[in-house]
Amino acid sequence: MQDSRKAWSGRFNEPVSDLVKRYTASVGFDKRMAEVDIQGSLAHATMLQRAGVLTEDELRAIQSGMADILDEIRHGTFEWSLDLEDVHMNIERRLTQKIGDAGKRLHTGRSRNDQVATDIRLYLRGAIDVLIGLVHELQISLLELAEKHAATVMPGFTHLQVAQPVTFGHHMLAYVEMLGRDAERFADARRRVNRLPLGSAALAGTTFPVDRAYTAELLNFEGVCENSLDAVSDRDFAIEFTAAAALTMTHLSRLSEELVLWMSPRFGFIDIADRFCTGSSIMPQKKNPDVPELVRGKTGRVNGHLVALLTLMKGQPLAYNKDNQEDKEPLFDTVDTLTDTLRIYADMMRGVTVKPDAMAQAVKQGYATATDLADYLVKKGLPFRDAHEAVALAVRYAEEKRRDLSELQLVELQSFSPLIEADIAEVLTAEGSIAARDHIGGTAPDQVRLQISRWRQRLGV
């Protein structure tokens, strides 16, 4: 029969009530850290043996017992107990059942405070590595779409009004840039995640001769947390990660909004593959872009987790407090939500069909080359403010005639400025407009292709 006594039960005269057990237990969600908990414990045991705290036989027994427990966890035969509160005590109790007193000695020189802080960092470090890879996969999907449509003209918008012609490839590259910064933020946050708290014990360090640098080396940490109070109570790294995740989700939410708009018949710029859409229970014709809509919704979920973590920490005195048990669920859900979103998004973007004709038609609906006409006049010597006024009058005239600027006769255009000559025809086409923006960061197809090449080089694809 399993001994369910608490690790600290000797201090109390009565057992904890069942309601309190359920309220305070974390094993229901922190058991996902079981493998990194074992990883950290093995490193701790190796360090203790080297320091002379454990014998070689005790270390071998711990290693053997942990290997068996890891196998049980992976095969789903490990019995988790609510009475044992958390992942740490469940594993430690099972180890003691298997190997006896050597299992009880494993906790020498550490506390659950520095143990959980270590586990979270190990877990999050691995999650960040996966997420950076997924960000890169999505960037590759966007690059492939951008390359295919490097010269596909579409309207660029400001205030959601047609502004100037751009290419669809250029538009996709904007999100490649955003995701590039997201990957940089995750990589930068990883450096602060990758510091070892273990050896700080409950809050003040330990009297045992621990070698924290050696433990850090065993666990591939870049260094140790250098203040024991800070080490056990710091959750900055989790907040920073969640902030980076919230930014990534916000970027994807912006793209989702555009995909939803573009798929609407009022735009008709794209179609999304059926496998990412659903229908209506009552309207047979409907094809709803559920995935991008859900990404918009789940962005609020991740943003909420960031606020929850900030609020969790704002009033805590040093050092560890039970409040910190509440850090895991928002952190885990952030990892899960972003991981799933990035995976499905990379696949979904490969299933986007672009409709160039609808985009080209939309460019003509908002006098998108008006700025090109103003620039043309400036190059002819007219001050910009005068050029702006002349073109504004030309746009008003074209609007009254229900024609695009490119559809006006030369004599009509010359009525607004005698500087306009026959070469204006090329300037007023959408293709001429985008080709003229031939500089780094510009929308010219050649620049789009160069930027795609640079990104492929950075990503190694």
Locate tokens 């930014």: which residue? Answer: 247
pLDDT at residue 10 tops 80: no
Asked if residue 78 is part of any domain, the answer here is yes
Evaluate if residue 9 carries a pLDDT over 80.
Answer: no
Residues 343 and 377 in one domain: no
CA angle 63, 85, 196 (to 5 degrees): 55
Segments forming the whole domain that contains residue 16: 9-108
Tell me, yes or no, whether 201 and 322 share the same domain.
yes
Rounded to an integer, the average pLDDT of 302-315 is: 98
At 11, is the pLDDT very low, low, confident or very high (cuts 50, 70, 90)? low
173 and 253 in a single domain? The answer is: yes
Does 1 reside within a domain? no
Distance CA(64)–CA(163), nearest Å, equals 68
User: Residue 373 has which token pair?
Assistant: 């006409």
Nearest CA-CA partner of 288 in 310, 252, 263: 263
Give which of 163, 354, 174 is closest to 267, Cα–Cα. 354
Give the three-class secondary structure for 355: coil
Q: Can you give the pLDDT at residue 396?
A: 96
CATH number at residue 52: 1.10.275.10
Average pLDDT estimate for 191-196 = 98
The total of structural domains in the chain comes to 3
**Which residue among 4, 9, 64, 280 is the active-site one?**
280
Look at residue 119 and tell me whether its pLDDT is greater than 80.
Answer: yes
Q: In 3D, which of 432, 452, 453 has the Cα closest to residue 444?
A: 432
Q: How confident is the model at residue 1 (pLDDT cuts 50, 70, 90)?
A: very low
Q: What is the CATH number of the domain that holds 318?
A: 1.20.200.10
Residue 441 pLDDT exceeds 90: yes
pLDDT of residue 397: 96
Instruction: State yes or no: is 41 an active-site residue.
Output: no
350 shares a domain with 256: yes
Q: With contact defined as beta carbons under 8 Å apart, do 449 and 143 qualify?
A: no
More confident residue, 213 or 5: 213
The pLDDT of 415-436, averaged and rounded, is 95
Question: Each residue of 70-109: pLDDT tens digit?
Answer: 999 999 999 999 999 999 999 999 999 999 999 999 999 9
What is the percent of the chain where pLDDT is above 70? 97
The reported pLDDT for the residue numbered 17 is 80
Q: Is the pLDDT of residue 269 over 60?
A: yes
Q: Is 9 a catalytic residue?
A: no
Last residue of one domain, picked from the residues 361, 388, 407: 361
Based on the fold, state whether residues 224 and 337 are members of the same structural domain: yes
- Last residue within a domain, chosen from 361, 378, 407: 361
Average pLDDT, the chain: 95
CA-CA distance, 433 to 368, in Å (whole number)? 9
* Mean pLDDT across 434-459: 97
pLDDT at residue 13 above 80?
Answer: no
Catalytic residue among 75, 159, 281, 439: 159
CA–CA dist 275, 348 (Å, integer)? 9
Both 214 and 275 in one domain: the answer is yes
d(CA 137, CA 130): 11
pLDDT of 399 above 50: yes
Q: DSSP letters of 45-68?
A: HHHHHHTTSS-HHHHHHHHHHHHH
pLDDT tens digits, one per residue of 28-40: 999 999 999 999 9
Q: How far apart are CA 364 and CA 395, in angstroms?
A: 12
Tokens encoding 205? 């360090």
Geometric angle at alpha carbon 119, from 117 and 121, rounded to 5°: 70
